[in-house]
């Protein structure tokens, strides 16, 4: 079924088919059709960051930036859905074209640039919902806000969404907002994270609800840089690390017509680099912080490989575009089997 839909959708411009698919899912959701999508399968839950995830497989950020279709996406079986990246004010993002499919590599290059309707719209969408899984909100800064003032944008987003989010992710690893990735290093990282952690703690003290804060990092770092980032995040008291975002490397797609397109490369070509980051983090962190593994998952075995590398949960984006809902089912079944075997000590 998805193969048929895919062959039609892939005939359209990549962004047009993206918008059309989300519109259809959102419309189906409004018509009460989500119950026909399958819903959450019965699996062993996974406890991470103080939250109970119905299964280990989530939808990565960027597909449903405005939270317009997350209930329908969730009904496909995802144990968690991360909406966003959202910024304080709505913004158009980069000029089109900015989204490119590389089917020969099961890959995508994007330079969307945080196109989104702004945090007020997103809040209106998540204020009340019927998704039974875990809802994450991924936050960023507006293009017009300088990197020096970024913390205020992240804080504004966090404070707007915290009453309605199950967890929040600070995205400091998109390659498509100039200077954003510099926030991953040294003092800039500590200065960005400290007010977010303080706001999380303030909210918990006042409302009695802890909303964990995760940070999403890039794959384009040396092992020493990964360890330094990890140390800062532990010292600052964040709750989890999401590894990874898209890569700037084009090594795996040399010679492709889109090789020179600017932006982040995702899908199969980023798989090994992402898994490597998960491994380095896991060996360095020794269970002090949970890791959510994302990048290039296009089979159940790929999802399990991330868990074996040290991730507790996984997320999928590009693989879902290429394989559709079948991949979600397969990844859930494989990761569920992995956890059940662990329980049995196999």
Determine contact, residues 216/175, Cβ cutoff 8 Å. no
88 in contact with ligand FMN (CB under 6 A):
no
101 in contact with ligand FMN (CB under 6 A):
no
Among 17, 34, 110, 236, binds ligand FMN (CB under 6 A): 110
Nearest CA-CA partner of 257 in 128, 107, 145: 107
What residues are labeled active site?
Answer: 174
Residues 253-312 that bind ligand FMN (CB under 6 A): 266-267, 270, 294-297
99 in contact with ligand FMN (CB under 6 A):
yes
Beta partners for residue 99, in sequence order = 110
DSSP 56: S
Smallest gap, in angstroms, from Cβ of residue 78 to ligand FMN?
13
Structure tokens, 31: 């018509």
CA dist 105 and 256 (Å) reads 9
Beta partners for residue 139, in sequence order = 86, 170
Q: Of the ranges 27-35, 57-65, 221-229, 327-335, which one interacts with ligand FMN (CB under 6 A)?
A: 57-65
335 in contact with ligand FMN (CB under 6 A):
no
Nearer to ligand FMN, 55 or 246 (CB): 246
Nearer to ligand FMN, 33 or 299 (CB): 299
CA dist 100 and 122 (Å) reads 26
**First and final C-alpha spacing in the chain:** 36
Residue 209 known to bind ligand: no
- Residues 6+ positions from 194 with CB-CB distance below 8 Å: 236
- Would you give the binding string for ligand FMN spanning residues 228-247, x where CB under 6 A is met? -----------------xx-
CA dist 82 and 319 (Å) reads 16
Residue 188 known to bind ligand: no
3-state secondary structure of 139: strand
The neighbour count for residue 16, using CB atoms within 10 Å, is: 12
Smallest gap, in angstroms, from Cβ of residue 98 to ligand FMN?
9
62 in contact with ligand FMN (CB under 6 A):
yes
Nearer to ligand FMN, 65 or 200 (CB): 65
CA dist 152 and 196 (Å) reads 9
Residue with smallest beta-carbon separation from ligand FMN: 62
Task: Give the interface with ligand FMN as residue ranges (CB under 6 A).
Answer: 60-62, 65, 85, 99, 108, 110, 112, 114, 138, 171, 174, 216, 245-246, 266-267, 270, 294-297, 316-319
Which residues belong to the annotated binding site for substrate? 65, 110-114, 171, 176, 245-246
């Amino acid at each position: 079924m998805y193969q048929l839909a895919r062959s039609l959708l892939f005939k359209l411009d990549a962004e047009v088919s993206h918008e059309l698919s989300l519109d259809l899912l959102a419309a189906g959701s409004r018509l009460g059709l989500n119950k026909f999508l399958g819903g959450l399968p019965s699996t062993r839950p996974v406890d991470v960051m103080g939250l109970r995830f119905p299964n280990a497989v989530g939808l990565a950020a960027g597909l449903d930036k405005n939270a317009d279709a997350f209930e329908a996406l969730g009904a496909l079986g995802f144990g968690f859905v991360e909406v966003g990246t959202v910024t304080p004010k709505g913004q158009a993002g980069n000029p089109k074209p900015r989204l490119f499919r590389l089917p020969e590599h099961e890959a995508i290059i994007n330079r969307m640039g945080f196109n989104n309707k702004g945090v007020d719209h997103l809040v209106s969408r998540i204020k009340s919902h019927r998704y039974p899984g875990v809802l994450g909100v991924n936050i960023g800064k507006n293009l017009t806000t300088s990197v020096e003032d970024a913390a205020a944008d992240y804080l504004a987003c966090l404070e707007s969404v915290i009453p309605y989010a199950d967890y929040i992710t600070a995205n400091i690893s998109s390659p498509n907002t100039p200077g954003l990735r510099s926030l991953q290093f040294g003092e800039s990282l500590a200065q960005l994270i400290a007010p977010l952690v303080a706001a999380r703690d303030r909210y918990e003290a006042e409302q009695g609800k802890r909303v964990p804060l995760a940070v999403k990092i890039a794959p384009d770092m040396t092992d020493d840089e990964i360890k330094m980032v990890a140390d800062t995040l532990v010292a600052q008291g964040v709750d989890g690390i999401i590894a990874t975002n898209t890569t700037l490397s084009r090594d795996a797609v040399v010679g492709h017509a889109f090789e020179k397109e600017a932006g982040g490369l995702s899908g199969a070509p980023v798989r090994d680099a992402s898994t490597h980051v998960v491994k380095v983090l896991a060996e360095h962190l020794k269970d002090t912080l949970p890791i959510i593994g994302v990048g290039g998952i296009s089979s159940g075995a790929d999802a399990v490989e991330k868990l074996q590398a040290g991730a507790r949960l996984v997320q999928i984006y590009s693989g879902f575009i290429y394989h559709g809902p079948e991949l979600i089912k397969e990844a859930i079944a494989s990761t569920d089997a992995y956890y059940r075997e662990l329980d049995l000590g196999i």
